[in-house]
Structure 1
Amino acid sequence: MQKDGQLRDGLWIKKVPSLYDKNQVSNWLFRIKYPGNWSADKVDNFEATLDNLCLLVRLQIVAFTFENTAMHYTSHHSMDISHSGLYQRLVVEGKGSYCFGMNTLFLQMIRALGYRAFSGAARINTASPDAPPNFLAFVHKILFVQPFRDSNTTYFVDASGGGSCLTRPILLKPGAKVLGATPSEWHTLVKTSRPESSLAYSPDSNETARLEWRLVVSHTPRNGPTSTKIIYSFPEDEFFNADYDASNIGIYTGVWARKESFWQENIVCSRCFWLTDEEMAGETNDQLESSQGDVYSEGAIPRWDGSLMSRYLGRLGLQKNELKRHVGTHSETVKTFHTELERMAILREFFGIDISQTDLENIRGRAPALELP
Structure 2
Amino acid sequence: MDGQLRDGLWIKHVPSVYTPLQVCQWLSRIRYPKVFSEKSLSTFPTDLDNLRLLVRLQLVTFPFENTEMHYTEGKTMDISPEGVFQRTVIDGKGSYCFGLNGLFLQMIRGLGYRTYSSAGRINGGPASSPVFFPFVHMVLFVQPVGGSNATYVVDAAGGGSAPTCPILLGDGQIVMGSSPTETHTLTRAARSDSSLESLPGSGTVEVEWRLTVRQLKHSSYSERLLYSFIEDEFFPADYAAANIWVYRDLLRGPFYENVVCNKCFWLTADEVKMVLEDLDAAAQSSDLPLHTQNLVFSQSQRKPYLGRFAMEGNTVKKYVGAHSEVVKTFHTEVERAQVLFDVFGIRIAHRELPHILGRVPALPLGDISQDH
TM-score (norm 2): 0.92
Question: What are the within-5 Å matches in structure 2 for residues 274-313 of structure 1?
Answer: 274-285=266-277, 299-303=295-299, 310-313=303-306
Q: Tell me the amino acid that sits aligned with residue 141 of structure 2.
A: F
AA aligned to 1:190 is: T
Task: Check the 8 A contact 1:302/1:310 in 2, yes or no.
Answer: no
In 1: Cα distance, 2:278 partner to 2:364 partner: 47
Shift of 1:200: 1.0
Q: Secondary structure at the match of 1:56?
A: helix
Q: State the match for 1:292 in structure 2.
A: none
* Partner Cα distance (2:278, 2:260) in 1: 34
Q: Distance in 2 between matches of 1:140 and 1:29?
A: 25
Distance in 1, matches of 2:249 and 2:209, equals 28
Deviation at 1:115, TM superposition (A): 0.3
Q: 1:96-115 alignment to 2 at 5 Å?
A: 96-115=94-113
Q: CA deviation at 1:95?
A: 0.2
- Equivalence for 2:318: 325
Q: Is 2:311 the partner of 1:352?
A: no
1:264 counterpart residue number: 256
User: Which residues of 2 match residues 117-132 of structure 1 at below 5 A?
Assistant: 117-128=115-126, 130-132=127-129
Residue 177 (structure 1) aligns with: 174
What SS does the aligned partner of 2:263 have?
Answer: strand
Which of the numbers 257, 265, 278 marks the counterpart of 1:273?
A: 265
> What SS does structure 2 have at the residue aligned with 1:366?
coil
Name 2:332's counterpart in structure 1: 339
Which of residues 87, 90, 104 is equivalent to 1:89?
87
Please report how far the alpha carbon of residue 274 of structure 1 lies from its aligned counterpart in structure 2 after TM superposition.
0.3
Local SS of the residue matching 2:129? coil
Partner deviation per Cα, 1:301-335 (whole Å, 9 max, x = no partner): 445xxx67621110001100001101112110001
> Helix, strand or coil: the match of 1:108?
helix
One-letter code aligned to 1:318: M
Q: Distance in 2 between matches of 1:286 and 1:122?
A: 33
Residue in 1 that maps onto 2:56:
58
In the alignment, the residues of structure 2 paired with residue 116 and residue 108 of structure 1 have an alpha-carbon distance, to the nearest angstrom, of 10
Q: Is 1:186 aligned with 2:178?
A: no
Q: 1:322 to 1:47 in 2, by over 3 A?
A: same
* SS of the residue 1:182 aligns to: coil
1:369 corresponds to 2:336: no
Q: Report what 2:195 is aligned to.
A: 198
Task: Give secondary structure in 2 for the equivalent of 1:44.
Answer: helix
Match of 1:242 in 2: 237
CA contact (8 A) 1:176 1:299 kept: no
**Aligned AA (1:232):** Y
User: What letter matches 2:250 in structure 1?
Assistant: V
The amino acid that maps onto 1:108 is Q
Candidates 133, 138, 141, aligned match of 1:144: 141
Q: Deviations over 1:248-304 (max 9, x none)?
A: 0011112232xxx2111100000000000111111113879xxxxxxx9x732445x
Instruction: Provide the C-alpha distance between the structure 2 equivalents of 1:39 and 1:253, rounded to a whole number of angstroms.
Output: 40
| Change over 3 Å in CA distance of 1:302–1:12 after alignment to 2 | closer
Deviation at 1:222, TM superposition (A): 4.7
* Aligned: 1:211 with 2:204: no
Q: Any idea what the Cα deviations from partners look like across 1:142-201, whole Å, max 9, x if unmatched?
A: 000000110100000000001001110000000000001111110000001111111111
Count of residue pairs the alignment pairs up: 355
Q: Is the 8 A contact 2:60 2:264 kept in 1?
A: yes
Q: What is the distance in 1 between the residues matched to 2:276 and 2:353?
A: 42
Alignment check: 8 A CA contact 2:181 2:216 kept: yes
In structure 2, C-alpha distance between the alignment counterparts of 1:173 and 1:256, rounded to whole Å: 33
Shift of 1:131: 4.5
Give me the whole-angstrom Cα distance separating, in 2, the residues matched to 1:265 and 1:255.
11
Query: 8 Å contact 2:181–2:279 — kept in the other structure?
Result: no
Three-state SS of the structure 1 residue aligned to 2:25 is helix
SS at match of 2:40: helix
Write the letter of the residue equivalent to 1:274.
W
Equivalent of 1:157 in 149, 154, 167: 154
Q: 1:219 is aligned with what amino acid?
A: Q
Q: Say if 1:325 and 1:333, in contact at 8 Å, map to a contact too.
A: yes
Letter in 2 for 1:233: S
What is the one-letter code of the residue matched to 1:252? Y
1:251·1:263 contact (CA, 8 Å) conserved in 2? yes
Percent identity reads: 52
User: What one-letter code is carried by the residue in structure 2 that aligns with 1:272?
Assistant: C
Q: Distance in 1 between matches of 2:302 and 2:40?
A: 23
